[in-house]
Structure 1
Amino acid sequence: MSNTVAIVDDHNLFAKSLQNLVNSFEEFEVSGLYKNGQELVEFFGANRPKPDIVLLDIKMPVMDGPSTMAWLKENYPDQKVLALTMEDDEETIFRMVKLGCRGYLLKDIDPDEFRYALKQVIYEGYYYTDAVSEAIENQGKAKPFENLSAREVEFLSLACTEMTYKQVAAKMNLSPKTIDGYRESLFNKLNVRSRIGLVLFAIKHKIYLL
C-alpha cells in the first residue's frame, strides 16, 4: 500500500510536476493538491483520511507555510510535514523545525534524494539536511552584530555608500571625531581592519543590501 502525500503549493505548474514525480515512486502517491494552507485546513476539517506526509511550501497567499505549520502543531501535532521551498535562510528553517516540521528541502533537490527524504520521514520520522542542522546550531549562537548600537548600525550602513567619513558625520549630525570613534569601535567589535572589511561584513549580514 502506498504512502499518501498532500502537496501544498500555490504554483500550479510546479505542484503538478511534483505530483507526477511523487506518483512515479512506487512507495508513494499524491492524495491531494492544495494552493495554500487554508485549503489544507479546510480539508483536515472535513474529517477525511489524513495524508501520511504533507509537502509544504513557505511563501503562499492566504495562509503561508509557517502559519499552516503552527495550525498543524496545535491541532494535529503528529502529522508528518516536509517543507519544500526556495527559502533557504536560517531563521525560516529554524522556525519551521521549531514548529514541528520533520525536514526542510529546497526545490532544486535531486529526485533521488527527495525520494530518500520521503522514505526517511515515513520510517525514521525525520530527515534533516546539513543546512537544517547548521541552522539549529547557529540559532543558539549570538549574532555577531547583536551588540551593536542603533547608531553604530546606522554608521555601518552609511559607510557602505560612496560618502566620505566627513559626509557621514554631517549626515548623522555628529562630529568627525565621534565618527572616528564609531569606526574604531566597529573595527574592534567586528574584528575588521578597514572600511572594506566593514562593507563586506554589512553585506554578508544583510545590514546593507546591494
Structure 2
Amino acid sequence: MLVDDHHLVRDGIKSLLVKYPYFNVIGEAADGIEALNMISQGDHQIDLVLVDINMPNMGGLELCRKVNEAFPSVKVLILSMLDHEKYISQALQAGAKGYLLKSVNEEELVFAIRQVIYNSFYICSELSYHLLGKMLLGTKIIAKSQSTSKVEFSSREIEILALIAEGYTNLEIADKLFTSKRTVEGHRLQMINKTGVKNTAALIKYCLVNGVLSFQAD
C-alpha cells in the first residue's frame, strides 16, 4: 500500500513498482486515517505499507504505531524527505521496519522493500553513512598508501569515498570539493560500476575490506 498525500508521488512510485512482477500495489491512501480504514477492511492481504511522515489528519508515525499494534504482520517502511536522526528514532520507536529518503534511486527502493518484506531492517545508504559519521566523532576515514584492491581509484574518487564514509551527503560533498552534486553522483556511480558492487554501502565496505580506506584517530 502507498500512503502519501501527494497523488503525483504515489503515481511515480507505482509506475516504478509495476515493472517488477513480485510487487503488487493493491491500495493507495492520502493520509493515515484512510490507510488504516483500508487495512482494517481486510479486502486484501497487505504485506507492506510505504508511507510518508508528514500528512494531514493522521501522519506516518501515528499510522505506524497503530498498524504495529493492531496488524503486526503488516510491515511499515517510511519514505520521507526528513533526514534528521530524530525522525528516524521516532519511526523506529513507532515500529517502522525501515527508513528511506525520497532521494533514493529505483534500485535502492526496490532493494529496501524486498529486505523489509523478508523480515530484515533497512535504512537507506545516505542516512546510514550520515549516522555513521556522527558515531565516529574523534575519528576520521583516510585513504591508505597501500591496498589489496585490484581496482584503481583516482585521487578525487578517494576524496569522495572518504567523505561518503564519514556521512556527508552528495550535496555536502559537492560544497566541500567545489563541484556539482551531479559530478559527485557521477563519480559514485562510476566507482560502483568499476568495483562491481550493488550500492554505496557495498562500495564503502569493499574499500574498507581491501584497505583503500581506513579509520584513524584524530
**TM-score, with length taken from structure 1:** 0.58
Residue 39 of structure 2 corresponds to: 44
- Cα offset for 1:135? 5.2
In structure 1, list runs of 5 or more residues that go unmatched: 1-5, 140-210
- Cα offset for 1:74? 1.6
Deviations 1:67-99 (A, max 9, x none): 111111221123111101111111011110121
Partner Cα separation in structure 2 for residue 33 and residue 48 of structure 1? 13
In our comparison, the structure showing a higher alpha carbon Rg is: 1
- Cα offset for 1:35? 0.3
- Cα offset for 1:136? 9.8
1:31 aligns with 2:45: no
Residue 7 of structure 1 corresponds to: 2
- Cα offset for 1:137? 11
Find the residue that maps to 1:105 and give its secondary structure: strand
Find the residue that maps to 1:61 and give its secondary structure: coil
- Cα offset for 1:50? 3.0
Q: 1:99 aligns with which of 94, 101, 106?
A: 94
The CA RMSD measured in Å over matched residues stands at: 2.4
Identity of aligned residues (%): 32
Residue pairs, 1:126-145, within 5 angstroms: 126-130=121-125, 131=127
Partner Cα separation in structure 1 for residue 120 and residue 54 of structure 2? 24
Instruction: In structure 2, give the amino acid aligned to 1:102.
Output: K
Is contact 2:47-2:73 (8 Å) kept? no
Instruction: In structure 2, give the amino acid aligned to 1:78.
Output: S
1:81 aligns with 2:83: no
| Alpha carbons of structure 1 residues 49 and 137: separation in structure 2 relative to 1, 3 Å | farther
1:53 aligns with 2:66: no
Deviations 1:72-127 (A, max 9, x none): 12211231111011111110111101211111001110101111111111224322
Deviations 1:145-172 (A, max 9, x none): xxxxxxxxxxxxxxxxxxxxxxxxxxxx
In structure 2, list runs of 5 or more residues that go unmatched: 136-218
Partner Cα separation in structure 1 for residue 133 and residue 66 of structure 2? 25
Partner Cα separation in structure 1 for residue 11 and residue 121 of structure 2? 25
Partner Cα separation in structure 2 for residue 138 and residue 71 of structure 1? 31
- Cα offset for 1:138? 6.9
